[in-house]
Amino acid sequence: PISIQFRNLLCIYTRYFTLSNNHDQPRIVSRFGDERPAYRQRSAKMLATLLHFLQGTPYVYQGEELGMTNAHFTALDDYRDPESLNAYHHFVETEHRVAATTMLSYLAHISRDNARTPMQWDSSLNAGFTVGTPWLAVNPNYAKINARAAQTTPGSIFSYYQRLIQLRHRLPIITTGDYQLRLPDDPAVYAYTRHRGDQTLLVICNFTAETQTRQFTALPTNAKLLISNYEDDHGNTLRAYEAKVYQY
């Protein structure tokens, strides 16, 4: 929803292009995934797969392992972040570049306050975070997206993160293997290999809700599907936000 012009302007106030969860970025499942109910879990697992099979140390930021989303605040009074407030005053009130409602829609997409809402522990008052009044409002979806629900739901995003962490502890190739980007000009699929000794991992991530078809000619017939956010493997066909890792 953000035009290229204003996206570039807002970069002054927000570090926009970091593909990670942290308190200075909005929620990645809302930015690079798809928070719609049909795709939120798939896309959150896809993004986790991409990041956790890279060499660098992955930090699991609070709520990332639950697939917490942007808060979608609708009023300026909902925000506390100076960068968001300064951007609003600058573009709306000083330079008159954008309408107030439009700017609020931008902030709902990229403000870092989206990552600073209270941790969603359970479905009780204020998501179990406090019995008082929190500094930022709790995301209204906490009744469904919370730690207690994730810990008791088979196949949850939380359980997928546990599997990823276990693999990082078990397979040295993830932390010490060489990295090579595959399909460097592909606008929809991000793929890379990790290589160590005679071992290789191929990581494939579909960043879209559309079915994609990709062929990896170097993939041997004895390649093993190590992990995926789907229960089965359709080979060269990648379903919506599908992520899979082959080991060979």
Question: How high is the mean pLDDT in each 10-residue block of the chain (248 residues)?
Answer: 50 52 93 96 98 92 97 96 95 95 95 97 97 96 97 96 97 97 95 97 97 89 95 96 97
The residue written with tokens 């292009």 in the block is 17
> Based on the domain organization, do 185 and 152 belong to the same domain?
no
User: Between the CA atoms of 154, 21, 139 and 151, what dihedral angle is there, to the nearest 10 degrees?
Assistant: 20
Token couple for 247: 């080991």
> Based on the domain organization, do 130 and 238 belong to the same domain?
no
Token couple for 117: 């809402």
> Based on the domain organization, do 218 and 115 belong to the same domain?
no
Angle, helix 157-170 to helix 40-52, in steps of 10 degrees: 20
> Based on the domain organization, do 69 and 191 belong to the same domain?
no
> Based on the domain organization, do 133 and 23 belong to the same domain?
yes
9 vs 237: CA distance, rounded Å: 38
CATH code, domain with 116: 3.20.20.80
> Based on the domain organization, do 39 and 72 belong to the same domain?
yes
Final residue belonging to a domain, choices 120, 145, 165:
165
CATH code, domain with 181: 2.60.40.1180
> Based on the domain organization, do 143 and 177 belong to the same domain?
no
The per-residue DSSP string of 92-130 comes to IIIS--S-HHHHHHHHHHH-GGGG-SPP--SSSGGGGS-
Alpha helix (H) residue ranges in the chain: 4-10, 28-31, 40-52, 82-88, 100-110, 147-151, 157-170, 172-176
- Which residues contact residue 112 at a Cβ distance below 8 angstroms, ignoring those fewer than 6 apart? 14, 23, 24, 25, 26, 81, 83, 84
Give the bridge partners for 118, in sequence order: none
148 vs 162: CA distance, rounded Å: 15
> Based on the domain organization, do 135 and 211 belong to the same domain?
no
Angle formed at CA 213 by CA 207 and CA 219, multiple of 5 degrees: 100
Final residue belonging to a domain, choices 115, 134, 165:
165
> Based on the domain organization, do 145 and 241 belong to the same domain?
no
Final residue belonging to a domain, choices 165, 184, 204:
165
pLDDT at 193: 97
Name the domain count of the chain. Answer: 2
> Based on the domain organization, do 45 and 79 belong to the same domain?
yes
> Based on the domain organization, do 158 and 191 belong to the same domain?
no
Strands 189-196 and 178-182: antiparallel
Count of all residues that appear for the chain in the document: 248
Quick check: 200 and 247 in contact, CB under 8 A? yes
> Based on the domain organization, do 68 and 188 belong to the same domain?
no
71 three-class SS: coil
- Quote the domain boundaries for residue 178: 172-247
